[in-house]
Amino acid sequence: MGQKIARGDALVLAHYYAPDAVQAAADFVGDSFALAQKAVASDKPVIVFCGVTFMGESAKILCPEKTVYLPAPDAHCPMADMASEEEILHMRRTVSDLAVVVYVNSSARLKAHADVVVTSANAVRVVSHLKEKNIYFIPDRNLGAFVAAQLPEKKFYFGHGCCPIHDATTVSEVEAAFSAHPEALLLAHAECPEAVRSRAAFVGSTAGMIAFAERSDAREFLVATEAGTLYELGRRCPGKRFFPTRADFLCADMKKITPAALENVFAGGGTPVEVDEEIAQRARRALMRMLELAK
Ligand code: 13P
Ligand code: SF4
């Protein structure tokens, strides 16, 4: 066991997909973009990040002077490795006037090759500011297609990655949910396939989905994203009803972040997140550029 961490020294950040009890214990709950912004703005020396590894890595890269802990260091987003450095180098060699845009759900190693990083909350805005005509968007082909549809002036090349949980959303399960709740509006995460996104009243990030539900006059919503989001939807929208499009819309990695794992960090059982310095320096440029262009 290492040294205990005083609660007052730490900012506890949690993603909407973390278990309800973990969200309830956090100082701030948000989407990937808002969590990165909060990490940067914090004056606490320690960040305890209740998210998957790419989130903790990004916080460490953006805040090298802070000590960052992941309560579940083995909670790893499978999409983070669904692109390769070789593919990026090949694209850079063969396509001119190219910007490499790397979704934040990626390893630090991939971010080090990025011209800019994006999250689902800011991808359209950030890419719209790039001067390059050609965009290589990795790893998420679904988010990439969503962004491309809104920026017809650019030419997109896509990676082959996806979130296995969102990508598994089918039109037939959405149609079944609409049959059970005909008055409901569909909220879809941008990682869902196009056939699902096209039926949605709102497509975007988790925070965007929550904000849409909050300001909408509708009373019922179908939710096509990880079930943890239902906790904040219920908290922020009393009186409205939310139905997941699938009973087991769960990210097993996010569910590794238990209250006991969080307690273990404060008891001194955590290992600080480390990122290779050369990779961190290059990835920091791409992350900082995102924060600038997303303003
Ligand atoms: P958000 O940035 O929308 O919270 O998404 C993160 C994520 O992992 C989606 O699967
Ligand atoms: Fe990764 Fe999908 Fe889990 Fe999000 S929901 S962390 S994209 S596996």
Tens of pLDDT, residue by residue over 154-188, are 999 999 999 999 999 999 999 999 999 999 999 99
The mean pLDDT value for 104-109 works out to 98
Q: What is the largest CA-CA distance in the chain?
A: 55
Instruction: Give the separation between CA 213 and CA 78, rounded to whole angstroms.
Output: 29
Residue with structure tokens 């730490």? 10
> For a substitution probing ligand 2, which of 163, 167, 209 has the most ligand atoms within 8 Å of its CB?
163
- C-alpha 12/C-alpha 8 separation (Å) is 10
DSSP label at residue 184: P
- Percent residues over pLDDT 70 in the chain: 100
The predicted structure's pLDDT at residue 129: 98
Q: Are strands 220-224 and 202-204 parallel, antiparallel or unpaired?
A: unpaired
Give which of 105, 108, 103 is closest to 123, Cα–Cα.
103
Contact 180, 155 (CB under 8 A): no
pTM for this prediction: 0.97
Please check the confidence at residue 2 and state whether its pLDDT lies above 90. no
Q: Whose CA is nearest to atom 7 of ligand 2?
A: 163
pLDDT of residue 1: 80
Residues 67-96 have a mean pLDDT of: 98
CA angle (191 as vertex; 185, 194 as ends), nearest 5: 70
Distance CA(235)–CA(246), nearest Å, equals 21
- Strand 185-189 with 46-50, pairing: unpaired
Q: How far is the CA of 48 from the centre of ligand 1 (A)?
A: 18
Centre of ligand 1 from the C-alpha of residue 32, in Å: 6
Query: Does residue 266 carry a pLDDT above 90?
Result: yes
Q: What is the pLDDT of residues 196-228, one digit of tens each?
A: 999 999 999 999 999 999 999 999 999 999 999
Q: Are 189 and 120 in contact (CB under 8 A)?
A: yes
Residue 197, pLDDT score: 98
Q: How confident is the model at residue 270 (pLDDT cuts 50, 70, 90)?
A: very high
Q: Which residues line ligand 1 (CB under 6 A)?
A: 31-32, 105, 119-121, 163, 166, 189, 191, 205-206
As a whole number, the mean pLDDT across the chain is 98
Residue 102: its pLDDT value, please? 98
- The whole-number average pLDDT for the span 264-290 is 97
Distance CA 13, CA 265 (A): 13
pLDDT of 288 reads 98
